């Protein structure tokens, strides 16, 4: 027969509410009573029922994260950072995959609400007005991570990297290495932060350096190996004059692009330089080692989780609506200085 909170109260000769306060470390209990209750709990091996505790505290000690694709290493690193904070706070992290579909994202928001979770971290694709409105209806806080609201306004707390600046700096790095014919393989067009903003960074760097490229130099994939391969294939087949460098908006697509170029007997980096994005593990062990834009998604997850906990403790906490984590250009072997006369 399992031990109940009533049994603990009876043996410790205290009220049930006193035992509850000791268990949940809520209201003040005298040191003598606290010690007495703790000794009985230790002696009996009593384990508080999480459901019963949540009814008393109005907290489940669970937060949720919604991601588009759990197989993407970006979200693996992000989740590790979030879980690192959860463990320190004695919280459980519930991971949900949406496939990037809005209907599924709305459904998952509802499911997590029914589970009485204490807060949500949301990594979507197109975080539009409809989704933001759904989030604002919830009694718990929601923090966007890796993705900004597509309205472009600071309407909800967000932790992200500066996609425009990161790609601008990356393309500037290629230009500093004497590349002028630069192609671009981006993310989905409906992806506001990782798609549209990265394209804007690319265009801004070219414009400021008075460089023009044909429309056939610009392709959009879906962050998969196959899309990187196929985007590079189209750039190769549709251009008589090939680019000397390609800015690819994630490392997995960059590896796909290099694989195609190898099949076409085009040398990387001797003929075409490739610059990736994310600094995923795959880039370090591929040949050639991938030059990339380093984003610490672990740190991004940590900061997003800390932001969520602040809001859970005080919904009116003073926090910048949008927080940017830093980025860094990493030079490896897939980019070389262009020696072609221009």
Matching CATH number, 163-295, of 3.40.50.2300, 3.30.450.20, 3.60.110.10, 3.50.50.60: 3.40.50.2300
Q: Per residue of the chain (342 residues), what is the pLDDT tens digit?
A: 577 778 878 888 888 778 777 776 666 778 887 888 888 878 887 776 654 555 455 567 899 999 999 988 899 999 999 999 999 998 999 999 999 899 999 999 999 998 889 999 999 888 988 999 899 888 899 999 999 998 766 788 999 999 999 999 999 999 999 999 999 999 999 899 999 999 999 999 999 999 999 999 999 999 999 999 999 999 999 999 999 999 999 999 999 999 999 999 999 999 999 999 999 998 888 999 999 999 999 999 999 999 999 999 887 777 778 999 999 999 999 999 998 765
Query: Residue 75: which H helix or E strand, with range?
Result: helix 73-88
The residues facing 62 across adjacent strands are: 92
The distance from CA 24 to its chain's CA centroid, rounded to whole angstroms, is 32
Euclidean distance between CA atoms 311 and 318, whole angstroms: 9
CATH of domain 62-162+297-326: 3.40.50.2300
Residue with tokens 């209201």: 27
Decide if 245 contacts 254 (C-beta within 8 A): no
pLDDT at res. 57: 52
Q: What is the pLDDT of residue 270?
A: 96
Assign domain 5-57 to its CATH architecture: Orthogonal Bundle (1.10)
Q: Side-chain half-sphere of 321: how many Cα atoms within 13 Å?
A: 7
**pLDDT computed for residue 55 by the predictor:** 46
pLDDT score, position 228: 98
Residue 233's DSSP bridge partners are none
Count of Cβ atoms closer than 10 Å to residue 302 Cβ: 21
Report the pLDDT value the prediction gives residue 206, as an integer from 0 to 100: 98
Domain residue ranges in the chain: 5-57, 62-162+297-326, 163-295
**Cα separation, 136 vs 132, whole angstroms:** 6
d(CA 260, CA 185): 13
Reported pTM: 0.82
Where do we find the tokens 């604002």? 136
Same fold, 62-162+297-326 and 163-295: yes
What pLDDT score was predicted for residue 214? 97
Question: In a 3-state reduction of DSSP, which class is residue 214?
Answer: coil
DSSP 147-212: --BTT-S--S-EEEE-HHHHHHHHHHHHHHTT--SEEEEE--TT-IIIIIIHHHHHHHHHHHTT--
């Amino acid at each position: 027969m399992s031990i109940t909170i009533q049994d603990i109260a009876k043996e410790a000769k205290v009220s049930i509410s006193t035992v509850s306060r000791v268990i949940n470390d809520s209201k003040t209990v005298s040191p003598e009573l606290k010690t007495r209750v703790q000794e009985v709990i230790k002696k009996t091996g009593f384990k508080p029922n999480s459901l019963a505790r949540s009814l008393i505290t109005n907290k489940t000690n669970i937060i949720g994260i919604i991601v588009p694709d759990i197989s993407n290493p970006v979200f693996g690193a992000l989740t590790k950072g979030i879980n690192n904070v959860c463990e320190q706070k004695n919280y459980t992290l519930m991971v949900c995959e949406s496939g990037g579909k809005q209907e599924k994202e709305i459904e998952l928001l509802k499911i997590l609400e029914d589970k009485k979770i204490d807060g949500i971290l949301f990594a979507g694709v197109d975080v539009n007005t409809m989704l933001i409105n759904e989030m604002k209806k919830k009694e718990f806080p929601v923090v966007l991570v890796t993705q900004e609201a597509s309205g472009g306004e600071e309407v909800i707390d967000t932790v992200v990297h500066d996609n425009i600046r990161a790609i601008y700096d990356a393309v500037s790095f290629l230009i500093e290495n004497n590349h002028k014919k630069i192609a671009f393989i981006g993310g989905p067009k409906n992806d506001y932060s990782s798609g549209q903003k990265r394209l804007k960074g690319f265009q801004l760097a070219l414009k400021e350096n008075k460089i023009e490229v044909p429309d056939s130099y610009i392709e959009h994939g879906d962050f998969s190996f196959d899309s990187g391969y196929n985007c590079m294939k189209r750039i190769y087949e549709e251009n008589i004059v090939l680019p000397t460098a390609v800015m690819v908006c994630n490392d997995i697509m960059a590896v796909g692009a290099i694989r195609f170029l190898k099949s076409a007997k085009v040398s990387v980096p001797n003929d075409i330089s490739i610059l990736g994005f994310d600094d995923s593990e795959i880039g370090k062990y591929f040949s050639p080692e991938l030059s990339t834009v380093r984003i610490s998604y672990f740190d991004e997850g940590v900061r997003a989780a800390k932001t969520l906990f602040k809001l859970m403790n005080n919904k009116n906490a003073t926090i910048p609506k949008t927080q940017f984590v830093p980025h860094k250009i990493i030079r490896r072997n897939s980019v070389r200085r262009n020696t072609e006369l221009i």
